[in-house]
Amino acid sequence: MTDDSTITHEAFKQFERDKFSLVAQEYDRALAKLTGGIAVVTSQVDEAILDAVEAKSGIRLLDVACGTGWLSAAALQRQAIVTGLDFAEKMVAIARERCPQGSFYQGDAENLTFESGQFEAVVCSLGILHFPNPEKAIAESFRVLKPGGRYAFTCWTPPTRNPFMALILGSVQAYGSMDVDLPTGPPLFRFGDPTECEMVLSAGGFTQVSVRELPIKWTFSTPEDVMPKIIVSSARLGSMLAMQTDEQRRNIENAIIEGASKYATENGVEISASVMLAVGHKP
Ligand SMILES: C[S@@+](CC[C@H](N)C(=O)[O-])C[C@H]1O[C@@H](n2cnc3c(N)ncnc32)[C@H](O)[C@@H]1O
């Protein structure tokens, strides 16, 4: 368990809802542009997430914090019956356009409006770190699963195992301030720790819990591309970068450009990262 007494729950939720609605188009475009139409970050782990919940034809799958619907689209490719839910209206609108065969709703992962025991699979890709009360979101996912159903979530690993996060956060720490005026949110990397994933799923009633790390790659056209893309397409990281003073931002950007240059390849700048994939079964 972590101490969440400093998290400003409602203010943080409001920030997330507003910010992700604001960046929805750019979030989708930034991810899609990188590989000419494929959402680089999500798509690299989509199949592993769907395998973990045994997504296949005819199963009812709920995609919590579905964003712009890339994982839902991959589940639809497997002929699953897909429902998606996200807090941010604009994210939901893009998911609906991407996946006309799915059903998408605006809503809160911590207070699902679905009846209990409806889904064979619930997935949550890079959403859990955005919920002020992840235990509540996990309990809700457990509730809407049928007995025998499967749950899987992913979360970023911390900078010690994640060169991309090390580059961004290390540059802010060196040349700027981590202490910007944002509503206090849940720890970014809590579930980058496999023990923490196991504990939270077991405490939530899940059995056969397993956790593994999956490598992914962020690809940018040039080192100069990195910081502007993060600013326009993410919530907390982007706001933290945007809220530095002009001088701090210039210095951070120079550090990111210098660091990113070391990852230049003939296919662009490829910076490795990883996520934890945590899976549990509802008995
Ligand atoms: C980093 S994005 C991940 C989106 C998508 N799953 C993906 O992998 O591309 C995080 C998403 O969580 C959503 N979100 C944040 N808090 C939420 C909440 N309490 N309930 C539902 N969605 C939430 C945001 O609107 C955003 O779309």
Ligand 1 atom with least separation from CA of 235: 1
Residue type, position 22, single letter: L
Residue 231 has pLDDT above 90, yes or no: no
Residue type, position 89, single letter: E
More confident: 204 or 37: 204
Q: Whose CA is nearest to atom 27 of ligand 1?
A: 67
Confidence of residue 19 (pLDDT cuts 50, 70, 90): confident
Q: Does ligand 1 have an atom closer than 6 angstroms to the CB of 108?
A: yes
Is 208 among the domain residues?
Answer: yes
Closest CA to 13 of 180, 130, 142: 130
pLDDT tens, position by position, 77-126: 999 999 999 999 999 999 999 999 999 999 999 999 999 999 999 999 99
For residue 2, what pLDDT is reported? 45
Is 15 among the domain residues?
Answer: yes
Ligand 1 atom with least separation from CA of 88: 25
Question: What does the alpha-carbon distance between residue 95 and residue 98 come to, in Å, rounded to a whole number?
Answer: 5
User: Which residues, including other chains, have CB under 8 Å from residue 31's CB and lie 6 or more apart?
Assistant: 39, 40, 41, 42, 68, 70, 233
Is 133 among the domain residues?
Answer: yes
Question: What does the alpha-carbon distance between residue 23 and residue 16 come to, in Å, rounded to a whole number?
Answer: 10
Q: Does ligand 1 have an atom closer than 6 angstroms to the CB of 15?
A: no
For residue 38, what pLDDT is reported? 42
Local structure of 29: helix, strand or coil: helix
Ligand 1 atom with least separation from CA of 91: 27
Q: Which of 16, 82, 135 should be mutated for ligand 1, with most atoms under 8 A from CB? A: 16
- Cα–ligand 1 centroid distance for 87 (angstroms): 7
For residue 37, what pLDDT is reported? 40
pLDDT tens, position by position, 143-185: 999 999 999 999 999 999 999 999 999 999 999 998 888 888 8
Which range marks the domain in which residue 114 is found? 9-158+185-217+274-281
Question: What does the alpha-carbon distance between residue 278 and residue 283 come to, in Å, rounded to a whole number?
Answer: 16
Tell me which residue has tokens 């890079």. 126
Residue 36 has pLDDT above 50, yes or no: no
Q: Annotate 153-203 with DSSP letters as a single string.
A: EEEEPPGGG-HHHHHHHHHHHHHS-S--S------TTGGGSHHHHHHHHHH
Q: Whose CA is nearest to atom 15 of ligand 1?
A: 130
Is 228 among the domain residues?
Answer: no
Is 254 among the domain residues?
Answer: no
Q: Whose CA is nearest to atom 13 of ligand 1?
A: 65
Q: Which of 10, 13, 18, 20 should be mutated for ligand 1, with most atoms under 8 A from CB? A: 20
For residue 82, what pLDDT is reported? 98
For residue 33, what pLDDT is reported? 52
Q: Does ligand 1 have an atom closer than 6 angstroms to the CB of 129?
A: no
- Cα–ligand 1 centroid distance for 235 (angstroms): 10
Is 232 among the domain residues?
Answer: no
Q: Whose CA is nearest to atom 4 of ligand 1?
A: 67
Is 223 among the domain residues?
Answer: no
Q: What is the mean pLDDT of the chain?
A: 91
Question: Domain with 60 in it: what CATH number?
Answer: 3.40.50.150
Centroid of chain to Cα 266: 28
Q: What is the DSSP letter of 242?
A: H
Tokens of 151: 């749950």
For residue 162, what pLDDT is reported? 95
Confidence of residue 20 (pLDDT cuts 50, 70, 90): confident
SS (H, E, C) 59-97: CEEEEECCCCCHHHHHHHHCCCEEEEEECCHHHHHHHHH
Is 27 among the domain residues?
Answer: yes
Q: Which of 130, 164, 216 should be mutated for ligand 1, with most atoms under 8 A from CB? A: 130
Number of domains in the chain: 1
Give the mean model confidence (pLDDT) for residues 217-221: 86
